[in-house]
C-alpha cells in the first residue's frame, strides 16, 4: 500500500520557520525509491539538527548500504527545531523523512544513531511527533522497530524503556542482517507478532532487546544482576566488527547539503579503531582493533567522492589519522594528484607525536593554511601519565616550534578538566604550557604576533573504558578549578592577551555523566525532562541544568539513588555495571588492571607496535590488528589533468 508524502501539509508551514531549506530534501546524491517495490523500509535518524546530522558519516554510510540493496528502502530524518515542532503539533503533521517526506510510523525500522547521550530527548520528540508510543511495551505489530546504534548504544540502559533494540559496533553488515530477518518475518505473514520478530533478532546474539532482560537491584541501589527472561536469549550481546574496510567503500556518493552544515567537505574514513590506549577515550576502546583502509582504496574513494560532489576539501577521518601507517604517502599522493584543482586536505586534531612538518605542508599545500590543533588533554606530565597520553611538554614545545618556524601563527590546544586524581596544580599547568608555547613561537619567529587558544572540556567517565569506575568531578568543583585557570591566564601581562581561553562549565558534563553511566531508572528522568520541554540538550542555548536536576529529583524519587550516586561516586571492582551484559570485546579484568595502572601513574605502550597486552578484543572476536604499509601507491598513478 503506497504511503503518501506529508509535504503538501508541511510546505504551508515552512514560511513560518527558520531555515526552512533544511526540511525540503532533494540533496545531490540523495535517494528516493518506489515504496511499493520494496518490502523492507528503514527510516534513519541522526537525532540533532540537519546542520549537524547530515554530515554524519555513520548515518550516510548506512543510508547508502541499505539503498543499494534490491527491495530495500532507506530514508533520512533529522530533529526539527522547536518552531516547526509547535506548528507540526498544531496542524497534525507527523515526523517525516526529508527524502520523500513519508511519515516515520509507516516504516519497518526506525534506526537512530547516538554519538552523544544528550540526543535522548530529541528521540522522544521524534517518537511522539511520529505517533509512535514512547514506551516500547505499548507498541503494536504495526509500529516500527525502534533501533539504537552509535557509540552511546554501548550503554543503552537509560533508554531501555523507549527502544526495542540496540546494535553495538559497526553497522554496515548488521543492518543487512536485520533486514534479512525482517524480510523473512514479513514474508511469512508476521507470525507471532512484534514479540516474535524481536525474539528472532535477539537470538542472533548481535542485537540487544532490552525487554528480554530483567534487572535486579540490591538494597543499596546497585545492580544485583541482569538476566535473560526468555529461552534462547543470550546472556551477553556481542558487538559487530567490520574487518576489511576496502569491502565497504562507503559513502560512494556522499550527500551534498542544501543548507550550511558543520562540515563542508567530503570525508573518507582512512582507518577504524585505535590502540593508543588513552584511558578516557571510549571511542578508542570500543572500536578496537585497528583496521586500515588501503592506500589504493582511499585513492579510489577520494576520486569517486570528489566527482560525485564537487567539494573542494577532503577530510581524512579516523580517531588518530596521522597514525595511518601510510599517511605520508596518502597526503603527498592526494596533494600531487589534485594540485591543479586546489583540493585541500584536512585531518582531525593531530597527535603531537605523530605530527611532522612534511605532513603539515602536504595538508596545507592546495588549501588554506589554517591553525593547527593538538590535544595534550592534561596540563601536567603527571596527569598525562594517569590518562596514558604519552606526550611530554618538551615534545609539544618542539612540535610547536617547528610549526611556527614554518609559517603557522595559530595553535589550538585541547584539554580536559576533572580527570581522575587531578589537582588544582595539574589544571594550572595548562596555563603554563600555553605561555611556554607563546614564548617559543615568539623566539622562533621573532614576532609577537603569535596566538594560542586553550579549549577545555569537562571529563565524563564512559562505559567500556578503564575510567568507567572513576568518580566524576562535581560541576561546582569543575567551575572553581577553571576559574582559577582563567584568572591565572588573564592576569599574565606578558602572555595573557595572546592566549584565547574557551571552556564549558561543569553542568552539561554532569548530565552527560548521568546518562552515560546510568541504568534503566534514568529513563524516568529523561521522560520527565522531555515532558518539561527539554530539547537539543547538546546545544548550550537550549540546555537547562535546572530542568535536568528537577526532573532527576522527580524521576528518581523513591529509588534511593540520586544524580551524585551516578556521577561523583567511585565504583568498586565487584559492582555489576549496567552495561556488563553488552560485550565490547574488552576483558573487564584488563580494564580494571589499567584503571589501577592509572592510579599508579603507569603508562602503557600502543599494542600496534609492541607485544599484546591481552585487552581481549583480538582473541575474543577472532580478529587481528591490521598494520601496513602495503608498498602500494594511490590509484590512478597519474596527476589529474583538466
Where do the H-state alpha helices sit in 498-582? 507-516, 523-531, 545-555, 563-567
Q: What is the pLDDT of residue 262?
A: 83
DSSP string, 623-634: ------------
Domains of the chain: 6-238 (3.40.50.280), 512-569 (no CATH)
pTM: 0.95
Euclidean distance between CA atoms 264 and 470, whole angstroms: 37
Euclidean distance between CA atoms 549 and 529, whole angstroms: 9
Q: Give 408's contacts (C-beta < 8 A, 6+ positions apart).
A: 360, 369, 371, 372
CA dist 590 → 269, 287, 621 (Å): 29, 16, 16
Q: What is the pLDDT of residue 260?
A: 86
Q: What is the pLDDT of residue 637?
A: 41
Tell me if 153 sits within 8 A of 186, measured CB to CB.
no
Tell me if 175 sits within 8 A of 66, measured CB to CB.
yes
Burial 256-286 (b: 16+ CB within 10 A, else e): bbbeebebebbbbbbbbbbbbbbbbbbebbb
- 496 DSSP assignment: G
Q: What is the pLDDT of residue 476?
A: 97
- 260 DSSP assignment: -
Q: What is the pLDDT of residue 192?
A: 97
Q: What is the pLDDT of residue 370?
A: 65
Task: Name the stretches of the chain with pLDDT < 70.
Answer: 1, 349-350, 366-370, 620-621, 623-631, 634-642
Q: What is the pLDDT of residue 626?
A: 63
Residue pLDDT, tens place only, 136-163: 999 999 999 999 999 999 999 999 999 9
Q: What is the pLDDT of residue 361?
A: 76
CA dist 141 → 190, 194, 202, 392 (Å): 8, 5, 17, 58
Strand pairing partners for 502? 455
Amino acid at each position: 500500500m503506497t504511503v503518501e508524502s506529508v509535504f503538501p501539509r508541511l510546505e504551508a508551514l515552512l514560511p513560518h520557520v527558520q531555515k526552512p531549506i533544511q526540511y525540503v530534501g532533494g540533496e545531490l546524491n540523495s535517494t528516493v525509491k518506489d515504496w511499493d517495490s520494496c518490502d523492507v523500509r528503514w527510516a534513519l535518524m541522526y537525532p540533532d539538527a540537519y546542520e549537524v546530522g547530515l554530515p554524519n558519516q555513520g548515518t550516510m554510510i548506512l543510508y547508502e548500504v541499505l539503498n543499494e540493496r534490491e527491495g530495500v528502502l532507506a530514508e533520512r530524518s533529522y530533529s526539527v527545531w522547536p518552531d516547526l515542532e509547535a506548528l507540526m503539533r498544531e496542524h497534525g503533521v507527523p515526523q517525516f523523512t526529508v527524502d520523500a517526506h513519508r511519515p516515520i510510523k509507516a516504516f519497518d525500522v526506525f534506526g537512530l544513531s547516538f554519538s552523544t547521550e544528550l540526543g535522548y530527548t530529541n528521540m522522544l520528540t521524534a517518537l511522539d511527533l511520529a505517533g509512535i508510543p514512547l514506551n516500547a511495551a505499548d507498541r503494536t505489530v504495526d509500529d516500527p522497530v525502534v533501533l539504537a546504534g552509535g557509540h552511546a548504544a554501548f550503554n543503552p540502559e537509560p533508554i531501555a524503556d523507549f527502544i526495542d533494540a540496540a546494535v553495538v559496533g559497526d553497522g554496515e553488515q548488521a543492518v543487512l542482517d536485520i533486514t534479512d530477518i525482517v524480510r523473512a518475518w514479513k514474508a511469512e505473514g508476521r507470525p507471532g507478532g512484534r514479540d516474535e520478530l524481536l525474539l528472532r533478532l535477539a537470538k542472533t546474539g548481535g542485537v540487544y532487546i532490552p525487554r528480554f532482560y530483567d534487572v535486579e537491584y540490591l538494597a543499596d541501589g546497585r545492580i544485583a544482576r541482569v538476566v535473560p527472561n526468555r529461552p534462547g536469549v543470550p546472556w551477553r550481546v556481542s558487538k559487530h566488527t567490520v574487518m576489511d574496510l576496502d569491502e565497504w567503500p562507503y559513502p560512494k556518493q556522499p550527500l551534498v547539503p542544501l543548507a550550511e552544515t558543520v562540515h563542508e567537505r567530503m570525508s573518507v574514513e582512512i582507518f577504524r579503531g585505535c590502540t593508543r590506549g588513552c584511558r578516557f577515550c571510549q571511542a578508542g576502546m570500543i572500536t578496537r582493533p585497528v583496521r586500515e583502509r588501503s592506500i589504493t582504496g582511499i585513492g579510489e574513494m577520494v576520486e569517486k567522492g570528489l566527482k560525485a560532489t564537487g567539494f573542494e576539501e577532503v577530510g581524512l577521518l579516523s580517531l588518530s589519522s596521522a597514525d595511518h601507517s601510510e599517511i605520508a604517502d596518502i597526503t603527498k599522493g592526494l596533494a600531487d594528484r589534485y594540485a591543479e584543482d586546489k583540493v585541500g586536505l584536512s585531518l582531525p586534531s593531530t597527535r603531537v607525536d605523530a605530527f611532522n612538518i612534511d605532513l603539515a605542508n602536504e595538508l596545507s599545500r592546495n588549501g588554506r593554511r589554517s591553525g593547527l590543533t593538538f590535544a595534550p588533554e592534561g596540563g601536567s606530565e603527571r596527569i598525562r601519565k594517569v590518562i596514558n597520553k604519552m606526550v611530554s611538554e618538551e615534545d609539544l614545545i618542539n612540535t610547536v616550534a617547528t610549526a611556527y618556524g614554518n609559517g603557522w601563527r595559530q595553535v589550538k590546544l585541547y584539554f580536559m578538566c576533572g580527570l581522575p586524581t587531578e589537582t588544582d596544580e595539574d589544571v594550572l599547568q595548562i596555563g603554563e604550557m600555553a605561555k611556554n608555547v607563546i614564548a617559543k613561537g615568539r623566539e622562533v619567529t621573532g614576532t609577537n604576533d603569535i596566538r594560542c587558544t586553550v579549549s577545555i572540556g569537562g571529563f565524563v567517565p564512559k562505559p567500556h573504558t578503564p575510567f568507567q569506575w572513576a568518580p566524576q568531578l562535581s560541576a561546582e568543583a569543575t567551575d572553581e578549578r577553571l576559574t582559577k585557570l582563567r584568572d591565572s591566564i588573564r592576569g599574565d601581562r606578558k602572555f595573557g592577551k595572546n592566549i584565547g581561553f574557551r571552556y564549558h562549565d561543569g553542568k552539561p558534563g554532569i548530565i552527560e555523566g548521568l546518562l552515560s553511566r546510568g541504568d534503566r531508572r534514568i529513563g524516568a528522568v529523561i521522560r520527565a525532562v522531555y515532558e518539561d520541554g527539554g530539547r537539543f540538550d547538546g546545544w548550550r542555548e537550549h540546555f537547562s541544568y535546572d530542568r535536568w536536576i528537577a526532573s532527576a529529583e522527580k524521576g528518581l524519587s523513591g529509588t534511593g539513588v540520586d544524580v551524585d550516586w551516578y556521577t561523583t561516586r567511585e565504583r568498586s571492582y565487584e559492582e555489576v555495571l549496567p552495561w556488563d551484559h553488552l560485550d565490547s570485546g574488552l576483558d573487564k579484568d584488563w580494564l580494571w588492571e589499567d584503571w589501577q595502572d592509572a592510579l599508579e601513574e603507569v603508562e602503557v605502550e600502543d599494542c600496534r607496535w609492541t607485544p599484546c597486552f591481552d585487552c581481549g578484543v583480538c582473541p575474543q572476536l577472532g580478529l587481528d590488528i591490521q598494520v601496513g604499509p602495503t608498498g602500494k601507491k594511490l590509484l590512478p598513478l597519474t596527476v589529474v589533468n583538466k
